[in-house]
Amino acid sequence: MTLPLITDPFFYAVAIPAVLLLGISKSGFGSGFGSLAVPLMALAVTVPQAAAILMPVLLVMDLLGLHAFRRHFDWKLVRFLLPFGLLGTVVGTLSFSLLDSRLVAGIVGVFTLVFLAQRLVFPPRPDSPHPPRWLGAMLTVTAGFTSFVSHAGGPPVNSYVIPMRLAPLVFTATMSVFFFVLNLSKWIPYAWLGLLDMRNMSTSVALLPFAPIGVLVGVRVAHRINPVLFYRLVYAGMFLTGCKLVWDGFFSR
């Protein structure tokens, strides 16, 4: 029996680069670029379908990331982030049918660009205090929500964690745990919403071989990269992500 996967060549022309970018971002290197995956795939399919197709791919990537960075987690930070991230996924589940996913993408993009502008105009000093926990809670709920809608949870939570100036491996490992649990929590709601159908899952299986390639490239670089360059690349990824999300949300109709 032939699997009912997507056969449109244009879909794979955008989906394969999207999966590679997502894999690289899962290693922490180029962290912001992962949020480009769904917008890229949305050139060929709807945003909900793109998000559903990426679910098995994300699971494989998350497991690879957890194994690669298993000795570097900041468990105290993980314990703070997770409850708020999971609350965001609950909000996303309950409001999914009412949402305009493009508008959500646009709002996330604006927020990302505002954060980057603030960092440029008011660069942090070495003695700058960490962001307040109440702000972290709000940003992490937002990350859970945007992660549920379009796998774009990176920019909001990065806005809270980046100013902590964690070592690159600690930053990467902590985000890998956070998003592993968050992505795992989305399986039941996605199934309940009817997004995990046979066609989407078969298409995801076809994309799976590209998942470890992106992760492997990113892991190799993350273990060798200078911290200053690391965060510059994170900012570059967030800038491109913000621009793309703003375009998708407010100008691409």
Please give the backbone phi and psi of residue 145, each rounded to the nearest 5 degrees, phi first.
-65, -50
> Would you say 161 and 77 are in contact if contact means Cβ atoms under 8 Å apart?
yes
pLDDT tens digits for 115-130? 777 667 666 666 667 7
pLDDT at 88: 94
- Count of Cβ atoms closer than 10 Å to residue 152 Cβ: 30
- Six-digit token string for 190: 């996605």
- Indicate yes or no: pTM above 0.95: no
Tell me which amino acid residue 67 is.
H
pLDDT tens digits for 96-114? 777 776 776 677 677 778 7
Q: What residues contact 7, with CB distance under 8 A and at least 6 apart? A: none
Distance CA 185, CA 233 (A): 29
pLDDT tens digits for 120-177? 766 666 666 778 899 999 999 998 988 888 777 877 888 888 888 888 788 888 888 8
